[in-house]
């Protein structure tokens, strides 16, 4: 039984190490420069006080049929990454933000069972290619009911099953669309924004709008429950979108906030506040 990891960065690296430590055959599918590093140095995971190096198989193109393909690239890199998959896997689980990647995956991997999933909690970053830092070991992955749960559990992470792909993805996107845009515009952490008398109402209204879009897409969510999750976040937390925009590298703003706005238009749901925040964040990213 083999699991392929497409994009062995921070999330992919943590999962690859977990599978290998549980005896699962892993093949990492990476760009040539990353592949060369992994083949020569292995994959190092600094997990709290624990430092482990594993040696997955590494290829630049997947030419074997695997039981499971985990896609852990960011949305802007998805199309190019899928070009490296020459033989479709039996099943695939993309761990991307947003909702539109599901259509891309199903179109590009014809005949593959593609299951929705999201990473609900992980603290990890890529220090450099082949070296992942994970200060806290806890990882939670939420998956749709048609995902290969038994195999995913062999990664050692906590797996939660929650209905359809749409339910899994909207539950995260409903708050993430507002969070990504707000933190990108202001370059301020969540704790400041949720307590700011000017920003808090916009933030909450944007979440209300995203929940209304989700409802039109068949997913019932509580905007109050989504806001309570925002309130429980660490005060200094920001978003990867904001960090990427600040660093001047491609971000997932369009895949996250843009996708929610486009879904609203498609489903006939007005999202004036969220759309305005998206426009402001786009302007911030072009500076």
pLDDT at 97: 94
pLDDT at 37: 94
Query: Each residue of 199-209: pLDDT tens digit?
Result: 999 999 999 99
pLDDT at 128: 87
Record the tokens describing residue 181, joined without a space: 């845009």
Coil/strand/helix, residue 26: strand
- Give CA–CA dist 206/202, Å, rounded: 6
Long-range contacts of 129-133 (CB under 8 A, 24+ apart): 129/33, 129/34, 129/37, 129/38, 130/34, 130/37, 130/38, 130/41, 130/42, 130/43, 130/44, 131/44, 131/46, 132/9, 132/10, 132/13, 132/14, 132/17, 132/43, 132/44, 132/45, 132/46, 133/46
Pick the CATH number of 165-285 from 1.10.1040.10, 3.30.930.10, 3.40.50.1240, 3.20.20.70: 1.10.1040.10
pLDDT at 212: 98
- Give CA–CA dist 122/139, Å, rounded: 5
pLDDT at 230: 93
Per DSSP, 7 falls in state S
Per-residue pLDDT of the chain (287 residues; tens, 9 = 90+): 899 999 998 889 989 999 999 999 999 999 999 999 999 999 999 887 888 899 999 999 999 999 999 999 999 999 999 999 999 999 999 999 999 999 999 999 999 999 999 987 677 788 888 888 888 777 889 999 999 999 999 999 999 998 999 999 999 999 999 999 999 999 999 999 999 999 999 999 999 999 999 999 999 999 999 999 999 988 988 888 998 999 998 999 999 999 999 999 999 999 999 999 999 999 988 87
Q: Tell me the C-alpha to C-alpha distance, in Å, between residue 190 and each of 31, 171, 236, 259.
A: 34, 18, 6, 21
Residue 190: left (phi > 0), alpha (psi -120 to 50), or beta?
Answer: alpha
Yes or no: say if 2 and 64 are a contact pair by the CB < 8 Å rule: yes
Q: Identify which of 195, 66, 172 has the alpha carbon closest to the alpha carbon of residue 122.
A: 172
Per DSSP, 24 falls in state -
Q: Where are the domains of the chain?
A: 2-161, 165-285
2-161: what fold?
A: Rossmann fold (3.40.50)
pLDDT at 285: 86
Indicate whether this model's pTM tops 0.85.
yes
pLDDT at 257: 98
């Amino acid at each position: 039984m083999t699991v392929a990891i497409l994009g062995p960065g921070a999330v992919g690296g943590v999962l690859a190490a977990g599978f290998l430590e549980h005896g699962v055959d892993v093949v990492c599918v990476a760009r040539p420069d990353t592949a060369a590093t992994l083949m020569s140095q292995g994959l190092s995971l600094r997990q709290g006080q624990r430092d482990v190096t594993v040696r997955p198989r590494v290829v630049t193109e997947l030419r074997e049929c695997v039981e499971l393909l985990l896609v852990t690239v960011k949305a802007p890199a998805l199309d190019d990454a899928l070009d490296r998959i020459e033989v479709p896997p039996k099943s695939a689980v993309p761990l991307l933000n947003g909702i539109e990647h599901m259509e891309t995956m199903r179109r590009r991997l014809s005949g593959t069972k593609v299951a929705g999933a999201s990473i609900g909690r992980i603290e990890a970053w890529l220090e450099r290619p082949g070296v992942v830092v994970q200060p806290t070991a806890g990882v939670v992955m939420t998956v749709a009911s048609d995902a290969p749960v038994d195999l995913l559990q062999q990664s050692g992470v906590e797996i939660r099953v929650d209905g359809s792909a749409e339910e899994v993805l909207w539950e995260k996107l409903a708050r993430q669309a507002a969070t990504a845009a707000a933190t990108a515009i202001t370059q301020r952490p969540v704790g400041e924004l949720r307590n700011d008398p000017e920003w808090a109402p916009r933030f909450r209204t944007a979440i209300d709008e995203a929940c209304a879009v989700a409802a039109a897409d068949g997913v019932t969510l509580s905007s109050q429950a989504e806001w309570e999750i925002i309130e429980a976040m660490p005060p200094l937390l920001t978003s990867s979108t904001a960090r990427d925009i600040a660093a001047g590298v491609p971000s997932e703003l369009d895949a996250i906030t843009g996708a929610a706005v486009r879904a609203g238009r498609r489903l006939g749901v007005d999202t004036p506040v969220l759309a305005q925040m998206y426009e402001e964040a786009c302007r911030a990213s072009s500076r």
